Amino acid sequence: MASTKRIMSGMRPTGRLHLGHYFGALLNWVDFQSRYESYYSIVDWHALTTKYQDSASVPANVFEITLDWLAVGIDPEQATIYVQSAIPEIAEIHLLLSMITPHNWVEREPTLKDMVRMLAQDESEAREKATYGLLGYPVLMSADILTFKGELVPVGKDQESHLEFARDVARRFNNTYGTDFFPEPKPEFTVTPLLKGMDGMKMGKSYGNDIKIADTADETIKRVRTMVTDRTRIAKADPGHTDLCEVPWPWYKALANEELRATVKDECENAKIGCVDCKKRLGGLINDRFAEFREKRANLANDPERVFKIIDYGNTKARKVASETLSQMREVMGMIDWNDSQKTWSKLMKAKV
């Protein structure tokens, strides 16, 4: 039975997800949904902070990412799947939180600095490309979490600082208004295997070095063939070194059982198998692991009406929670909902008596 604790996380819809997303996040999300009250958001506003010129691609990407989530086991009956922009309350909560967040907090946020560096080559270009929306990214991220009063947020040990901003915002709101309204979200630490891209660099869609969840078996085999292996092994007859095998060996450690890992290590280090055959076996291992997911994804892609119903269902559930949070937040701040001014004014006056 799921805990009453809420966990919240999200992904930007920038295209089909790769296997790094699966092992780095989705595998944990599937586990969390049976243990916590889970909210998983497709954060399409966040996608615009760096790709506002490409806004027309966002709707299709929302559909693609939903297919990936459902295919790998995110269950809409266990977890609430929703699209950020379908919940307008998040935007207002973001606005209200921005009113209490000091400017220098945003400027020192390391995630923001990294994003600006990715967008610009120099300071002049950074001033042009660092939009108001991008500067507000950390506050919007805080609103995403606090709208659902997320008590837990899944992060790796090296990402804990990203969550600290939301904790600071929650604490400042509570201190400003003398309340404990927002819980300070805590990290739910996850163990993530370090899986590099085919070229040995960080895996990423923009780098063209990834394997997609949706890739076919043939596409996967073709991608695996390009994996960088042990650069010191020149010939097949030379003994290999699994500790120097840049890409395939970490993948084996993530995918293979102990017996197969021992076999691979022995065959590699005693020159019983070459890198080509070793990668061929790895490609088969990946395809076996993801065959069921890919079949499910293809079936869902052929039934878009079902997918949109799932999105609508999650949006409705999420908006109900967000509406309650916003209403309560206004009360804490002593503000009125001017769409229902008489009722909220009376309620406010009673609270002051």
Per-residue pLDDT reduced to its tens digit, 80-95: 999 999 999 999 999 9
Query: pLDDT tens digits for 24-77?
Result: 999 999 999 999 999 999 999 999 988 888 999 999 999 999 999 999 999 999
Label residue 194 by pLDDT band (50, 70, 90): confident
pLDDT at 345: 72
Label residue 198 by pLDDT band (50, 70, 90): very high
pLDDT at 189: 86
pLDDT at 352: 65
Average pLDDT over residues 316-332: 97
Label residue 191 by pLDDT band (50, 70, 90): confident
Which CATH number is 6-192+304-352's, of 3.40.50.2300, 3.40.50.1370, 3.40.718.10, 3.40.50.620?
3.40.50.620
List the domain boundaries for the chain.
Answer: 6-192+304-352, 205-300
Label residue 240 by pLDDT band (50, 70, 90): very high
pLDDT at 338: 81
Label residue 339 by pLDDT band (50, 70, 90): confident
Cα separation, 74 vs 68, in Å, equals 9
Average pLDDT over residues 280-296: 97
Q: Among 2-11, 38-47, 73-82, 229-238, which stretch is predicted with the lowest mean pLDDT? A: 2-11
Instruction: For residue 29, give every residue at least 6 positions away whose Cβ sits within 8 Å of its Cβ, in sequence order, or none.
Output: 9, 38, 40, 69, 74, 79, 154
Label residue 258 by pLDDT band (50, 70, 90): very high
**Is the confidence at residue 122, as pLDDT, over 90?**
no
pLDDT at 351: 67
- SS (HEC) of the chain: CCCCCEEEEEECCCCCCEHHHHHHHHHHHHHHCCCCEEEEEECHHHHHHHHHHHHHHHHHHHHHHHHHHHHHCCCCCCEEEEEHHHCHHHHHHHHHHHCCCCHHHHHCCHHHHHHHHHHCCCHHHHHHHCCHHHHCHHHHHHHHHHHCCCCEEEECHHHHHHHHHHHHHHHHHHHHHCCCCCCCCEEEECCCCCCECCCCCECCHHHCCCCECCCCHHHHHHHHHCCCCECCCCCCCCCCCHHHECCHHHHHHHHCCHHHHHHHHHHHHCCCCCHHHHHHHHHHHHHHHHHHHHHHHHHHHCCHHHHHHHHHHHHHHHHHHHHHHHHHHHHHHCCCCHHHHHHHHHHHHHHHC
Label residue 213 by pLDDT band (50, 70, 90): very high
Higher pLDDT, 194 or 323: 323
Higher pLDDT, 115 or 284: 284
**Is the confidence at residue 242, as pLDDT, over 90?**
yes
Query: Fold match between 6-192+304-352 and 205-300?
Result: no
Return the top range by mean pLDDT from 127-131, 158-162, 171-175: 171-175
**Is the confidence at residue 19, as pLDDT, over 70?**
yes
**Is the confidence at residue 328, as pLDDT, over 70?**
yes
Average pLDDT over residues 249-270: 95
Label residue 207 by pLDDT band (50, 70, 90): confident
Say which CATH topology domain 205-300 has: Tyrosyl-Transfer RNA Synthetase (1.10.240)
